[in-house]
Structures are given as structure tokens and as C-alpha cells.
Amino acid sequence: MKSICSICNYTKGEILKVKEMMIETFDTFEYVICGNCQSIYIARPLKLEEISKYYPKEYYSFSKNISEAKFLKKFFYSKRMRYFLFHDSFIGKILSELQPLHGLSWLKYS
């Protein structure tokens, strides 16, 4: 089966064989490094009915808790950064004391 790079439409490249390790099926997948633009792509994308084998309902990215955790991390980071820049966030002040932002003094608003 000939694969075509979706970036530059080149048809030649180096084949990489990679084993799935995360859910331990150890199935082998072929990836191609495009000989022209060096992008990496899967040689034969999975069919829709094959995807559930590798991405079951319990897959970590589907977890509601992960999404909530990312939201909270982003929220607290923004509060800490806002305090660092403008000194106007009480939550940010506490977070900055717990985990200071180093190396960003050039960003401070005067």
C-alpha cells in the first residue's frame, strides 16, 4: 500500500514500526517519515471500528476528572500570573508564595 504525505503529497519516505505500549496490546503500527518535508504520519489510519480497541471508554483523555483538573490548573496559573503582573489577585498572591514564578521579572508591569 502506497501512502501519500498529507502535507506535501510526496510518496516516498522511511518506514518506522512502532509497538503500542500504553494499553499493552503490543500491536505494531507503521509510521512514515516523509522523504520530502520530514513530517511523520501513520501509514494506515485506523478504521472507525478499530479505534475503540485502542481508546476504550476508560481511556484517560475521556475522563471528566482530567478535564476538570486541566481547568483548575489553568485557573490557578492565571491567578498566579495576574498577581505576578498586577498585584491584584489575593488567590494569586497565596499561589505565588507557595510556588513563585522565577525568571519572569522582565514581564512585570510598572
DSSP code at position 50:
H
Task: Please report which confidence band the pLDDT of residue 110 belongs to, taking 50, 70 and 90 as the band edges.
Answer: very low
pTM of the model: 0.51
**Residues 3 and 43 sit within 8 Å (Cβ to Cβ):** yes
Higher pLDDT pick, 51 / 60: 51
Residue 29 exposed, middle or buried by CB count within 10 Å (0-12, 13-18, 19+): middle
**Residues 93 and 79 sit within 8 Å (Cβ to Cβ):** no
> pLDDT digit string (tens) for 53-70?
888 777 766 666 666 677
What is the average pLDDT score of the chain? Answer: 81
Task: Please report which confidence band the pLDDT of residue 24 belongs to, taking 50, 70 and 90 as the band edges.
Answer: confident
